Amino acid sequence: MKNNKKQIVEGSHAVAEVIKNCQVDVISAYPITPQTHIVEDLERMKAEGKADFEYIRADSEFAAASIVLGASATGVRTYTATCSQGLLLMTEVLFCIAGLRLPIVLTCANRAVSAPISIWNDQQDAVTLRDSGWLQLYGETNQEVVDLHILAYKLAESMMLPVMVNMDGFVLTHTYEPIEISKESVIKKYLPKYKPPQNTILDVNNPRSLGDFAAPDVYMEIRQELHEDVLSSKKQITKLAQELKKIFGRSIGDNGLFESYKLNDADIVLVAMGSVCGTIKEVIDNQRGKGQKVGLLKVISLRPFPDEEIVEALKKAKYIAVLDKSISMGSEGVLAIDLKRAAYTKLKAKIQSFIIGLGGRDVTEKMIIKIINSVKKQDNKIQFIGE
Amino acid sequence: MKKLKYNLTVKPGTTTQYKTGGWRTYKPVVDHEACIGCGMCSKVCPEGVCFSTGQKNSKGRVFYDRDLDYCKGCGLCAKHCPVKCIKMVEDYK
């Protein structure tokens, strides 16, 4: 195993390492479980003189987001990490960051939202921000999460859009896995130094204002441009995932947007995001052994949502079960809503929303089998699968 | 590199270019003949736009007027004028 560059490390540590190797200039964060290990590791690197970045301790997530906003506006590469209540406290600033077109990368260690208070994993925090203009990518394994961060910077800086990389709290952040963390010298080949567009940054020698008032005659066009750029970032993700494969030899799903697993002949397709896809793949292998044609479509990019590509991948499916670790209260799972919108008039399959794993409830193989069995039934109502 | 249709960082705004007088509904009209040149209007004006014209009326008094580019029409000058020579009239644009 001479050429094996993998090391067994904790997910959070791997993220901290790769952020350092991405040559980030300014980091600001406020610790919150289960994100804490990421920012602790980054602070330690700084304290031990192993990193060049500025680390600014903030007095809240609101301040941390504001600090990276200001730093990014001066034309440097920035990073922050948070989750749950912290992400929600950042909300106002996160909308500003997207509106101001600042290429900030944020790691969200997905955690449930209060109340009742829960420090455990689900994806309610991140999906709640799907309308903000941030691109949202979800990793299944720590290797994928590490690679998504490298892609995220290139994506953010080429589209002038902020990117949120999501990793399931505890399930990924606190888990040790064999991970290859690319070296700075290799990352440099993929991710050159950040050069902001001319005349867009704050510079004392050439004073400009950021965050100006937009009267009704321009506000709408600026928001429309943001929407169109979020849509067109889809092509960019595919392109960057191909480039990443060339340089690092690792792929992110089929095309950076999603991964299809045993989809070709599948009657029943499960659609999900994040770490639960590992368990689903295990169940699919077992069920296929019993002759059941089941497949998985793992969504990596929730924003932009790859409408056409997903519809194309699902066109042969008869039953589609969408598994969400979140819910739009009074409606359905967030991924299910998006999929139904994309499928409108294009797919004939039955699409049903299943809610799983809220507040850290373990998602077992038994639950997934239960979903496979119930999606074939006539009933099309949203279902909570807790046991 | 992404070039945005709308550059969101702009040169800082300046009121030498932006005439804030456009906000007003009423404008003050000074009766130059009745003005006694006491300067009360320039003392109470929150915008500092009342000024002595340096010209004399037929009674030999130096009379005052307003810089209407920046007057927001608050009416304080009219309220405080001891000889009531300032009228607030609706400002049609």
Exposed e or buried b per residue across A149-166, where buried means at least 16 C-beta atoms within 10 angstroms of its C-beta: bbbbbbbbbebbbbbbbb
Residues of A in contact with B10 (CB under 8 A): 208-209, 212
CB contact under 8 A, A197 and B5: no
A208/B11 Cβ within 8 A: yes
pLDDT score at B93: 66
Q: A166 and A89, same structural domain?
A: yes
CB contact under 8 A, A195 and B1: yes
Is the residue at A1 inside a domain? Answer: no
CA distance A102 to chain B (A): 10
- Statement to judge: residues A147 and A185 lie in one domain: yes
Mutate to test the interface with B, among A158, A212, A223 (most CBs of B within 10 A): A212
CB contact (8 A) between residue A212 and residue B13: yes
Place of tokens 């991970």: A179
Do A198 and A262 fall into the same domain? no
What residues does A281 pair with on adjacent strands? none
The answer on A159 and A25 residing in a single domain is yes
Q: How far is B6 from chain A (nearest CA, A)?
A: 7
Q: CA A202 to CA A100: how far, in whole Å?
A: 12
Neighbour count for residue A213 (Cβ, 10 Å): 8
Same domain, A63 and A121: yes
Q: Are residues A134 and A274 in the same domain?
A: no
- Give the pLDDT confidence score for residue A85 in this predicted structure: 98
Task: End-to-end CA distance of chain B: give it in Å, rounded.
Answer: 45
pLDDT category at B92 given cuts 50, 70, 90 is confident
Domains: count for chain A = 2
Q: What's residue A43's pLDDT? A: 97
3-state secondary structure of A4: coil
Residues A226, A200, single domain; the answer is: yes
Q: Are residues A205 and A263 in the same domain?
A: no
Is the model's pLDDT at B84 over the cut of 80? yes
Q: Are strands A258-261 and A54-57 parallel, antiparallel or unpaired?
A: unpaired
In whole angstroms, give the CA distance from residue A195 to residue A205. Answer: 18
pLDDT band for B7, please (50, 70, 90 cuts): confident
Residue of B nearest to A233 (CA): B2
pLDDT category of residue B18 using cuts at 50, 70 and 90:
confident
Query: Which chain B residues are Cβ-neighbours of A222 within 8 angstroms?
Result: 6, 8
On whether residue A253 sits in a domain, the answer given is no
Give the tens place of pLDDT for each residue, A138-162. 999 999 999 999 999 999 999 999 9
Using an 8 Å Cβ cutoff, are A297 and A311 in contact? no
**What is the distance between the alpha carbons of residues A65 and A58, in angstroms, rounded to a whole number?**
9
Residues A196 and A271 in one domain: no
The one-character DSSP state at B23 is G
Do residue A209 and residue B9 have CB atoms under 8 angstroms apart? Answer: yes
Mean pLDDT over B16-28 rounds to 91
Do A299 and A159 reside in the same domain of the chain? Answer: no
Does residue A2 sit within a domain?
Answer: no
Contact residues on chain A for B13, CB-CB shorter than 8 A: 209, 212
Contact B62, B11 (CB under 8 A): no
Q: Is residue A173 part of a domain?
A: yes
pLDDT values of chain A reduced to their tens digit, one per residue, 387 residues: 455 689 999 999 999 999 999 999 999 999 999 999 999 999 999 999 999 999 999 999 999 999 999 999 999 999 999 999 999 999 999 999 999 999 999 999 999 999 999 999 999 999 999 999 999 999 999 999 999 999 999 999 999 999 999 999 999 999 999 999 999 999 999 999 999 988 889 999 988 889 888 999 999 999 999 999 999 999 999 999 999 999 999 999 999 999 999 999 999 999 999 999 999 999 999 999 999 999 999 999 999 999 999 999 999 999 999 999 999 999 999 999 999 999 999 999 999 999 999 999 999 999 999 999 999 998 899 999 999
Query: Is residue A83, in this structure, part of any structural domain at all?
Result: yes
Quote the pLDDT of residue A162. 98
Inter-chain CB proximity B7 and A159 less than 8 Å? no
A230 and A263 in a single domain? The answer is: no
- Residues of B within an 8 Å Cβ radius of A: 1-13
Residue A38 backbone dihedrals phi, psi, to 5 degrees: -65, -50
- In the numeric block, which tokens belong to residue A369? 């089998």
**Among A215, A248, A281, where does a domain finish?**
A248
Cα–Cα dist A155/A145, whole Å: 15
Contact: B1, A207; criterion CB under 8 Å: no
Domains within chain B, CATH numbers bracketed: 22-90 (3.30.70.20)
Q: Which of A226, A248, A270 is the last residue of a domain?
A: A248
- Closest approach of chain A CAs to the CA of B78, in angstroms? 33
Q: Give how far A210 is from chain B: nearest CA, Å.
A: 5
Which pLDDT tens digit goes with each residue over B34-52? 999 999 999 999 999 999 9
Tell me whether residues B9 and A229 touch, CB distance under 8 A: no
Structural domain includes residue A106:
yes
Domain that holds residue A115: 7-248
Report how far residue B5's alpha carbon sits from residue A253's, in angstroms, rounded to the nearest whole number: 32
- What is residue A213's predicted lDDT score, i.e. its pLDDT? 87
Output the CA torsion sign for A266, A268, A273, A275. negative
What is the pLDDT confidence band of residue B12, given thresholds at 50, 70 and 90?
confident
**Which residues does chain B have within 8 Å of residue A212's beta carbon, measured at their own beta carbons?**
8, 10, 13
Residues A48 and A92 in one domain: yes
CATH code at position A37: 3.40.50.970
pLDDT band for B16, please (50, 70, 90 cuts). confident
Look at residue A88 and tell me if it is in a domain: yes
With pLDDT > 90 as the criterion, what percentage of chain B qualifies?
A: 74
Provide the whole-model pTM: 0.89
Contact B9 A200 (CB under 8 A): yes
Name the DSSP class of A353.
E
Across the range B9-30, mean pLDDT stands at 88
Whether A42 is covered by a domain: the verdict is yes
Domain endpoint, select from A248, A268, A287:
A248
